[in-house]
Amino acid sequence: MNIDLENLTIESAHASMKKGEYSARDLASEYLAQIEKKNKELNVYVEVFSDVLAQADISDSMFKNSTATLLTGIPIALKDNMLMQGKVVTCGSKILAGYVASYDSTVVRILKENGAVILGRTNMDEFAMGSSTETSYYGVTRNPYDTSRVPGGSSGGSSAAVAANMALVTLGSDTGGSIRQPAAFCGIVGLKPTYSTISRYGIIALASSLDQVGPFTKNVRDAEILIDTLSVQDNMEATSVKAEDRKVEFANTKKIGIPKKFLTGLAPEVEKNMGMCIITMKSLGYEIVEVDIPLMQYSLAVYYILQPAEASSNLARFDGVRFGLREEGKNLEEVYAKSRGVGFGKETRRRILLGTYVLSHGYYDAYYNKALAMQKEITRELKDVFKNVDFLMMPTTPTPAFKIGEKSDPISMYLSDIFTVPANISGMPAISIPSGLSSEGLPLGMQFMGPHFSEQMLFEVGKKFEEKIGFTPPVLK
Catalytic residue among 29, 59, 178, 339: 178
CA dihedral 251, 371, 237, 174 (to 10 degrees): 70
Angle between helix axes 10-19 and 52-64 (nearest 10 degrees) is 60
C-alpha–C-alpha distance, residues 33 and 318, integer Å: 36
- Half-sphere exposure of residue 225, counting CA atoms within 13 Å on the CB side? 24
Backbone angles phi, psi at 455, to 5 degrees: -55, -45
Amino acid at 167: A
Q: Nearest-5° angle of CA 106, CA 139, CA 38?
A: 80
Question: Catalytic site residue 148?
Answer: no
Catalytic one of 16, 154, 173, 231: 154
Pairing relation of β-strands 213-217 and 255-258? unpaired
Using CA atoms, how far residue 59 sits from 15, 47, 103, 165, 454, in Å, is 14, 21, 21, 20, 32
Sign of CA dihedral 299, 300, 302, 303: positive
Residue 185 phi/psi, 5-degree rounding, is -65, -25
Quote helix, strand, coil % in the chain, to nearest 5: 45, 15, 45
Three-class SS state of 4:
coil
- Determine the Cα–Cα distance for residues 198 and 23; give it in Å rounded to an integer: 30
Asked about 346 being catalytic, the answer comes back as: no
Antiparallel, parallel or unpaired: β 255-258 and 287-290:
parallel
Residue of 16, 29, 59, 79 marked active site: 79
Question: Could you give the CA distance from residue 401 to residue 438 in angstroms, rounded to a whole number?
Answer: 10
Query: Is 18 noted as a catalytic residue in this protein?
Result: no
Q: Which residues pair with 436 in a beta bridge?
A: 444
Q: What positions carry a catalytic annotation? A: 79, 154, 178
